[in-house]
Chain A
Amino acid sequence: MQANRREFIKQASALTLGVSALSLSLTPTQLMAGDEPLAQQLPLTSKNAHLLNRISFGINQQSMRRINRIGYRRYIEEQLNPDALDDVELEAYIDEHLPTVNQSIAQTRLQVRTREISRLRAADELAMATYLRAIYSKKQLLQIMVEFWNNHFSVYHLDGPVVFLKTQEDKEVMRPLALSSFSQLLHASAKSPAMIYYLDGYASSKEAPNENYARELMELHTLGVDGPYTHHDIDEVARCFTGWKINQRNGKFRFSRKDHDGDEKLVLGHTISSGGGVTDGEHVVEILAAHESTATFMATKLCRHFIADEPSPAIIESTAERFLDSQGDIKACLRHILLSNEFINSQDKKLKRPFHYMTAVARSLAVTFTGRGAVRSTRQMFDSLGQRPFFWQSPDGYPDVASFWESTTGMLFRWNYANDVCFRDFAGYQYDLSNLVSKPYTPENIYQQITEKIIYRQMNESDQRLMLDYLYDGTKNGRVSPLKIQGALALAMGSPYFQLN
Chain B
Amino acid sequence: MQTRRSFLQLGSSNKVENKNTDILIYVFQRGAADGLNLIVPHGDEDYYANRPNIAVAKPNGLNDAALDLDGFFGLNPVMSALLPIYENKDLAMIHACGELGSSHSHFKTQADVDRGTMDEGVQSGWLARYANSSNNVNATAFKSVALNKSIPKSLSGAEQVVALDNIDSFAIKAPESESVALQAKLLSLFAGKSALDKVAQATFNGLAEVASINPEDYPVENEANYPNSGFGNRFKDLALLIKSGIGVETASIDIGGWDTHNDENATLAVLAKEFADTLAAFYADMGDRMQNITVISLTEFGRRVAENGSNGTDHGTGNVAFVMGGGVNGGQVFTDWPGLRTQDLVGPGDLLPTTDYRTVIAELMDKRMNFTNQQELFPDFEVPEYLGVFSR
Verify if B77 is at the interface (C-beta below 8 Å from A): no
- Among the 9-residue stretches B44-52, B89-97, B256-264, the one with 4 or more Cβ atoms under 8 Å from chain A is B256-264
**Cβ–Cβ contact B196 & A204, under 8 A:** no
How far does the Cβ of B165 sit from chain A's closest Cβ, in whole Å? 5
| A495 touching B186 in the complex, CB below 8 Å, given contacts A37-B194, A225-B103 | yes
Residues of A close to B262: CB separation below 8 A: 200, 203, 210, 212
**Cβ–Cβ contact B169 & A384, under 8 A:** yes
Complex partner residue of A411 from B169, B174, B200, B308, CB under 8 angstroms? B200
A483 to B182, CA, bound (A): 12
| A204 touching B309 in the complex, CB below 8 Å, given contacts A225-B105, A225-B107, A483-B175 | yes
A79 to B146, CA, bound (A): 41
Most buried by A among B108, B146, B163: B163
**Cβ–Cβ contact A37 & B195, under 8 A:** yes
Verify if A351 is at the interface (C-beta below 8 Å from B): yes
**Cβ–Cβ contact B207 & A38, under 8 A:** no
Residues of B close to A423: CB separation below 8 A: 174-175, 178
Query: What 1/0 flags go to B151-192 for Cβ under 8 Å of A?
Result: 100001100011111000110111101100110011011101
A270 to B221, CA, bound (A): 63
Interfacial residues of chain B within 184-216, with CB under 8 A of chain A in the complex: 185-186, 188-190, 192-200, 202-203, 206-207
A386 to B164, CA, bound (A): 12
- Closest A-chain residue to B107, C-beta based? A396
- Closest B-chain residue to A469, C-beta based? B185
**Cβ–Cβ contact B163 & A409, under 8 A:** yes
How far does the Cβ of A288 sit from chain B's closest Cβ, in whole Å? 17
Residues of A close to B169: CB separation below 8 A: 384, 413
Verify if B1 is at the interface (C-beta below 8 Å from A): yes
Complex partner residue of B309 from A209, A409, A467, CB under 8 angstroms? A209
**Cβ–Cβ contact A494 & B186, under 8 A:** yes
Verify if A39 is at the interface (C-beta below 8 Å from B): yes
How far does the Cβ of A39 sit from chain B's closest Cβ, in whole Å? 5
Verify if A264 is at the interface (C-beta below 8 Å from B): no
Residues of A close to B31: CB separation below 8 A: 394
Verify if B101 is at the interface (C-beta below 8 Å from A): no
A408 to B348, CA, bound (A): 42
Query: What 1/0 flags go to A458-486 for Cβ under 8 Å of B?
Result: 00001100110110010000000001100
Residues of B close to A107: CB separation below 8 A: none
A470 to B198, CA, bound (A): 23
Verify if B123 is at the interface (C-beta below 8 Å from A): yes
A220 to B107, CA, bound (A): 10
A466 to B348, CA, bound (A): 62
- Among the 9-residue stretches A248-256, A322-330, A414-422, the one with 4 or more Cβ atoms under 8 Å from chain B is A414-422
**Cβ–Cβ contact B196 & A231, under 8 A:** no
**Cβ–Cβ contact A407 & B150, under 8 A:** yes
How far does the Cβ of B286 sit from chain A's closest Cβ, in whole Å? 24
A406 to B1, CA, bound (A): 25
A410 to B200, CA, bound (A): 10
Verify if B84 is at the interface (C-beta below 8 Å from A): no
Verify if A110 is at the interface (C-beta below 8 Å from B): no
Interfacial residues of chain A within 13-64, with CB under 8 A of chain B in the complex: 32-40
Residues of A close to B193: CB separation below 8 A: 4, 7, 36, 40
**Cβ–Cβ contact A40 & B194, under 8 A:** yes
Residues of B close to A231: CB separation below 8 A: 104, 347-348
Verify if B315 is at the interface (C-beta below 8 Å from A): yes
Tell me the count of chain B residues lying within 8 A, CB to CB, of chain A: 63
A495 to B185, CA, bound (A): 10
How far does the Cβ of A443 sit from chain B's closest Cβ, in whole Å? 13
Interfacial residues of chain B within 359-387, with CB under 8 A of chain A in the complex: none
Residues of A close to B177: CB separation below 8 A: 483
Verify if A405 is at the interface (C-beta below 8 Å from B): yes
Residues of B close to A415: CB separation below 8 A: 172, 186
Complex partner residue of B315 from A33, A215, A220, CB under 8 angstroms? A215
Verify if A499 is at the interface (C-beta below 8 Å from B): yes
Verify if B149 is at the interface (C-beta below 8 Å from A): yes
Verify if A403 is at the interface (C-beta below 8 Å from B): yes
Complex partner residue of A404 from B105, B150, B175, B186, CB under 8 angstroms? B150
Q: Is the interface of A mostly helix, strand, loop or mixed?
A: helix
Verify if B391 is at the interface (C-beta below 8 Å from A): no
Complex partner residue of A406 from B164, B172, B196, CB under 8 angstroms? B196
Most buried by B among A4, A396, A405, A470: A470
Verify if B243 is at the interface (C-beta below 8 Å from A): no
Residues of B close to A200: CB separation below 8 A: 261-262, 310, 312
Residues of B close to A203: CB separation below 8 A: 261-262, 309-310, 312
Verify if B314 is at the interface (C-beta below 8 Å from A): yes
Residues of A close to B161: CB separation below 8 A: 407-408
**Cβ–Cβ contact B185 & A35, under 8 A:** no
How far does the Cβ of B121 sit from chain A's closest Cβ, in whole Å? 8
How far does the Cβ of B43 sit from chain A's closest Cβ, in whole Å? 28
Verify if A427 is at the interface (C-beta below 8 Å from B): no
- Closest B-chain residue to A387, C-beta based? B149
**Cβ–Cβ contact A208 & B186, under 8 A:** no
A409 to B197, CA, bound (A): 14
Verify if B341 is at the interface (C-beta below 8 Å from A): no
- Closest B-chain residue to A404, C-beta based? B150
Verify if B106 is at the interface (C-beta below 8 Å from A): yes
**Cβ–Cβ contact A425 & B173, under 8 A:** yes
Verify if B30 is at the interface (C-beta below 8 Å from A): yes
Interfacial residues of chain A within 194-219, with CB under 8 A of chain B in the complex: 200, 203-205, 207-212, 215, 219
Residues of B close to A396: CB separation below 8 A: 106-107
| A386 touching B195 in the complex, CB below 8 Å, given contacts A33-B123, A466-B189 | no
Interfacial residues of chain A within 347-368, with CB under 8 A of chain B in the complex: 351
A204 to B108, CA, bound (A): 25
- Closest B-chain residue to A399, C-beta based? B150
Residues of A close to B146: CB separation below 8 A: 407
**Cβ–Cβ contact B197 & A470, under 8 A:** no
Verify if A188 is at the interface (C-beta below 8 Å from B): no
Residues of B close to A39: CB separation below 8 A: 192, 194-197
Query: What 1/0 flags go to B75-119 for Cβ under 8 Å of A?
Result: 000000000000000000000000000011111100000000000
**Cβ–Cβ contact A408 & B202, under 8 A:** yes
How far does the Cβ of A419 sit from chain B's closest Cβ, in whole Å? 5
Complex partner residue of A35 from B157, B207, B256, CB under 8 angstroms? B157
Query: What 1/0 flags go to B276-295 for Cβ under 8 Å of A?
Result: 00000000000000000000
Residues of B close to A483: CB separation below 8 A: 175, 177-178
Verify if A179 is at the interface (C-beta below 8 Å from B): no
Residues of B close to A4: CB separation below 8 A: 193
Residues of B close to A491: CB separation below 8 A: 182, 185-186, 189
**Cβ–Cβ contact A407 & B151, under 8 A:** yes
Residues of A close to B259: CB separation below 8 A: 212, 394
Residues of B close to A419: CB separation below 8 A: 172-174, 182
Known: A36-B193, A207-B309, A407-B149; 5 extra A-B contacts, CB below 8 A, are: A36-B198, A204-B309, A231-B104, A351-B196, A490-B174
- Pull 23 A–B residue pairs with CB atoms less than 8 Å apart, ordered by A: A36-B198, A39-B197, A203-B312, A205-B309, A210-B309, A210-B310, A219-B107, A231-B347, A393-B256, A394-B30, A394-B259, A396-B107, A403-B195, A406-B196, A408-B162, A408-B199, A411-B203, A419-B173, A423-B174, A462-B188, A494-B189, A496-B197, A500-B196
Give the 10 A-B CB pairs with smallest separation, nearest first.
Answer: A208-B309, A407-B163, A203-B310, A386-B149, A40-B192, A408-B203, A409-B163, A495-B189, A212-B261, A411-B203
User: Measuring CB to CB, which residues of chain B are less than 8 angstroms from any residue of chain A?
Assistant: 1, 30-31, 103-108, 123, 146, 148-151, 156-157, 161-165, 169-170, 172-175, 177-178, 181-182, 185-186, 188-190, 192-200, 202-203, 206-207, 256-257, 259, 261-262, 308-310, 312, 314-315, 347-348
